[in-house]
Amino acid sequence: MAEKQPNSVPKAKISLDEYLEEVARFCENEYGNTFRGRFQDMEGNSELAMLAAPTAAELAELRRAVAIMTAAEKHDADKLTDEQVERIAEDAKVDPANLAIFINGYSLMCKRVS
């Protein structure tokens, strides 16, 4: 007879600031550089590896964008529209594509946790 599993408590949603620090974990270190190198295209770009191992410049842009976000935008970052992300990128003077990748990664993390 199968044992009854205890009710699992849903995990709390990770904050955007916590997610940013998770993304920063392998910034500019040996592992991160090796990981990024495996995802480079013919021109040496590896945007999709940015969430696993951002460059110092990418991380600085992400931090600048998160820093200017309102508390409400940070709280509901997983629900931001493309237009809102574009506006934040413009206001922070950061690459809108990288900010969109970051916000989408955060959204996926939130969906996986819930």
**pLDDT tens-digit profile of 6-54?**
555 556 789 999 999 999 998 888 887 787 777 777 666 666 677 788 8
- Write down the pLDDT at residue 83: 97
The DSSP-derived string for the chain is -PPPPPPPPPPPPPPHHHHHHHHHTTTTSHHHHHHHHTT--TTS--GGGTTTS--HHHHHHHHHHHHHS-HHHHHTGGG--HHHHHHHHHHHT--HHHHHHHHHHHHHHHHHH-
0.85 surpassed by pTM:
no
Domain residues of the chain, as ranges?
Answer: 16-113
